[in-house]
Amino acid sequence: MTENHTGGVRVTMKDIFEEVQRQGKLLDKIANSLPDTEGQVHDHEERLRKLEMRVGWIFGALGLLSALVGVFSVSLG
């Protein structure tokens, strides 16, 4: 950036280009330092599926247990 004699600032296309290049390099560094989000999403989905399966088994077992209790309570009553 160069200062103008009227007190203003003049920004040239070269200044903008250099700043964009600098910002791009900084963004590359940041992106490369972040962990692999694709792997984290896959792992998270896997854990959710396992949890859903366990919950399904629990509700199935509770349903079977309540059916057995109902059958035995009718036969004893």
pLDDT at 23: 95
Q: Residue range 25-43: average pLDDT?
A: 81
19, containing H or E segment: helix 13-33
Shared domain check, 26 and 40: no
The residue segments making up the domain with residue 75 are 36-77
What is the chain's Cα-based Rg? 33
Shared domain check, 68 and 40: yes
pLDDT at 3: 55
Q: Give the Å distances, CA to CA, from 1 to 5, 13, 22, 33.
A: 13, 10, 15, 31
Q: Distance between CA 24 and CA 30 in Å, rounded?
A: 10
Q: Return the percent helix, strand and coil in the chain, to nearest 5.
A: 80, 5, 15
Shared domain check, 61 and 25: no
Instruction: Render pLDDT for 43-75 as a digit per residue (tens, 0 to 9).
Output: 888 999 999 999 999 999 999 999 999 888 877
